[in-house]
Amino acid sequence: MNTIEQPDWVARSLKSVWHPCTQMQHHETVPLVPVSHGRGAWLYDAQGRRYLDAISSWWVNLFGHANQRINAALKDQLDLLEHAMLAGFTHEPVIRLSEQLAARTNNVLGHCFYASDGASAVEIALKMSFHFWRNSGQTDKREFVCLKGSYHGETIGALAVTDVQLFRDAYGPLLQQAHVVASPDARQAQDGESPADVAHRAAQQLEEMLQQRPGKIAAVIVEPLVQCAAGMAMYDPVYLSELRAICNRHQVHLIADEIAVGCGRTGSFFACEQAAIWPDFLCLSKGISGGYLPLSLVMTRDDIYQGFYDTDVRRGFLHSHSYTGNPLACRAALATLAIFDEDDVINRNKEQATKLGKALAMFASDSRVEHVRQRGMIWACDARTDDPAFSRKFFTAALQHELLLRPIGRTLYLMPPYILDDEETALLAQRTHAVFQQVIGA
């Protein structure tokens, strides 16, 4: 398959490629895996070893690597149009994608604005919210609210609404301060409290915050149902319905960042559906292209769109990227949506999720973990350990068991592609527990 020797490949990468989310020096002890190809849920390295991609390559891959249907769509598109600018031009893939996504919100969010990565979609939602209020004469509405432990991306605007201590310590001086309010994370339940009680408490705190800054807040941004990067913090949907009502009462926009939780991950196509609400802005990326190509978008309501509709250029939304609405990426997304329909994915995922949860039942009776939890195709638990190297040790040990798993702190989680068969599900569960025993016992 590939004639490049693995040691040479790794050394060359370490010399010239600056890898993300990594202290490069750790690669003196943590392996760098040279991937040569992928098939279904599996990635293969240059020496033919395989790894079950149990975190969907950072939550992007929904239907496996080298998916036949997505590949076919891309090959077809490649000979038609690889790219054309979207200012003054349009093309069928971007039109069809916008129409199909809007239809999935019953046309409540009927306007789609495109970018290439998740952080840019968040930047767009923040700018649009601010600009909408300014266009309607409310120039003081320029502050944002986010939740404790929130993650919305790492560009400077998105980082301002991201509550991760490590990033704040490093880049805080560059950022516009956002208001950080309580997370509805169900793990915070006190004696006798239900997840809904925790959600209600957090919602009340948010409302108090908004009351203190009347006329100043543009938008509240949340990750619906699961704060993934915070360590798969899951919460009751009632938080979202209360949040919707609070935002309405205070004339504040609600931005739903569904970059990680959208596209069927939590059990419905959009996570917001489980609370029967629609936000004012909905951000999508990651899974929308099936994990194939960089694509992100922000969906919004007609009244917001109308707030920009004018003869004056300055009242129009001012934002663009070179690859906005790239046709190849849109075709990958259309092929992904077609799979949802053809394979009845939302319903089938309910069975998949049940099987996954059952296969992992050994964790529920393992006293070395707590807070075993699941929402759709996200399963997580917290290891009872204070070893700061738990995640790195787990990653390394998992590779030896043919698994790609990368815990967040002491949170061990699985977020696999939706296509695992029963055998793969069983293998994943058994080996995850075996790796856990090895790492926690060490």
Q: Which residues bind ligand PLP (CB under 6 A)?
A: 117-119, 122, 151-153, 223, 228-229, 257, 259-260, 285-286
For 415, residues 6+ apart whose C-beta sits below 8 A from its C-beta are: 54, 55, 56, 59, 228, 265, 377, 378, 379
β-partners of residue 404 are 53
- Relative orientation angle of helices 390-400 and 422-441, to the nearest 10 degrees: 130
Residue 109 or 126 with smaller CB distance to ligand PLP: 126
Q: Output 262 or 307, the one with its CB closest to ligand PLP.
A: 262
Of the pair 122, 203, the CB lying nearest ligand PLP is at 122
- Do residues 273 and 239 touch, judged by C-beta distance below 8 A? no
* Separation of alpha carbons 90 and 383, rounded Å: 50
Helix, strand, coil shares, percent, the chain, to 5: 45, 15, 40
**Smallest separation (angstroms) from ligand PLP to the CB of 276:** 21
Q: Which is nearer to ligand PLP, 146 or 440 (CB)?
A: 146
Which residue number, 125 or 360, has a Cβ lying nearer to ligand PLP?
A: 125
Q: Give, rounded to a whole angstrom, the gap between the first and last alpha carbons of the chain.
A: 37
Q: Could you tell me which of 228, 209, 214 has the C-alpha nearest to residue 378?
A: 228
Question: Least separation, in Å, of the C-beta of 317 and ligand PLP?
Answer: 20
Residue at 153: amino acid letter:
G
Residue least distant from ligand PLP (Cβ): 118
Residue with smaller CB distance to ligand PLP, 78 or 170: 170
CB of 229 to ligand PLP, least distance (A): 6
Give the list of residues 6+ apart from residue 225 with CB closer than 8 angstroms, or none.
234, 235, 237, 240, 261, 266, 271, 274, 375
Q: Which is nearer to ligand PLP, 135 or 227 (CB)?
A: 227
Angle made by CA atoms 134, 137, 138, in degrees to the nearest 5? 70
Q: How far is the CB of 226 from ligand PLP (least distance, A)?
A: 9
CB 243 within 8 A of CB 205: no
Q: Can you tell me the distance from the alpha carbon of 207 to that of 100, in angstroms, rounded to the nearest whole number?
A: 35
When the beta carbons of 101 and 260 are compared against ligand PLP, the nearer one is 260
- How big is the chain, counted in residues? 442
Written as one letter, the residue type at 86 is L
CB of 433 to ligand PLP, least distance (A): 26
Smallest gap from Cβ 120 to ligand PLP, in A, equals: 7
Taking the C-alpha atoms of residue 28 and residue 367, their distance in angstroms, rounded to an integer, is 33
CB 281, min distance to ligand PLP, A = 13
Minimum CB separation of residue 242 from ligand PLP in Å reads: 20
